[in-house]
Amino acid sequence: MKTPLITNDAVVLGLLLLVLALVFYTSSQKSPFWTKFYSVVPSLLLCYFIPSLFNTFGLISGESSGLYKVASRYFLPAALVLLTVNMDFPAIIRLGPKALVVFLAGTLGIIIGGPIALLAISLIDPTVLQTSGANETWRGMATIAGSWIGGSANQTAMKEVFGASDKLFSTMIAVDVIVANIWTACLLYGAARSQKINAWLKADASAIEETRNRIESYRASIMQIPMLHDTINLMAVGFGGTAIAHLLADNIVPTLEIHKQFLESIYLGSVISGFFWIVLIATTIGLLLSFWQPARQLEGVGASRIGSAFVYLLITTIGMQMDVLAIFENPILFLGGIIWILSHVGITLLAAWLIKAPFFFVAVGSQANVGGAASAPIVASAFHPALAPVGVLLAVLGYALGTYGGWLSGVSMQIIFEWLK
């Protein structure tokens, strides 16, 4: 790993915030140039892409920086609490089962997309079949299946289950991160054009629009100029919920570690993850607070505004993980990753078209699979901050299915690999 030009995280943080400030400033301008520019390039996408360029060209390093861990472990849980205290839970329920159907279709797309990708790249470059033992290509691809359905814990579980070598595993992590981040960028771009995509899908997005309108109307009715004590209260609720989530996770995980062998024997080893429990508990705290009127009143002094600011900061730290030039280091495997993600996209869109589900469900269901709990709320928030919990809830379901789906996809790829050889 090359040493980046900027190694001090305090400087990197300042740089990321300057990027956010620049994007928000230019996107608010009414000049013809900026109006036309942001009609083509969503501002959210720039917040993600500019840091990736900084990482690619060695200005900063997402790998050596500790900012992503801070943002994902501290700011993300606080954002989830603040974004959910105003949630209209009955309205979310009224969104119906389409979100679940599209999510499961996305999971199926990943399970069968792996064998399709392996077959395709073997036809293009037969050398991928010449590996042996722990370096057999399918073993590494099985770890991507675990990651894209669940998360990093599921990915590690698949490494152990299928015995991928450390070298192969590190290569597959690069494929996983780059391809998944490219797809996240596409979803953020699509979120800004959801109405056109909904028209193509012939989807009825009225339930989502109704939810957005109800939340915005309620927000307008309680809006007030925040005082210092209001902001302190918001921070206390957000980071207090984060503290409780960390405290409970710190006690739950060691208890589950005792039963690790049993949990892994039933393919539930992925629940032994502190991050999994932090996200789950923080979301639950926000949901519970949404039933308490004094907590709901926090929206009037900017709960979702501060929560959204935390989300945007997280977006920049996710973006700085991507090296856009890494795709050229092992092009055939990256091509396989692209074929794989396209299989997932095709099946997800087909399911949405068949049941006339809006693009919101496609974007969030897909990201809940491929990106997980860190990025699914971000994609959901691109449609409306109050919809972030939908992303979290589906991502949690992805964690539960990750090991099962990853194992099924891995076995399928093993059969394909042995048959082709």
**Sites in the chain below the pLDDT cut of 70:** 1, 87-95, 152-153, 156-157, 170, 215-216, 218-219, 264-271, 326-327, 373-374, 386, 396, 399-400, 403
Cβ atoms of 163 and 411 within 8 Å: the answer is no
Q: What is the pLDDT of residue 336?
A: 92
Q: What is the pLDDT of residue 110?
A: 94
Q: What is the pLDDT of residue 60?
A: 93
What are the domain boundaries of the chain? 63-420
Q: What is the pLDDT of residue 384?
A: 75
CA distance 228 to 219: 20
Nearest by Cα to 70 from 250, 310, 241? 310
User: First vs last Cα of the chain: how many Å apart?
Assistant: 35
Q: HSE, CB side, 13 Å, CA atoms: give it for residue 145.
A: 36
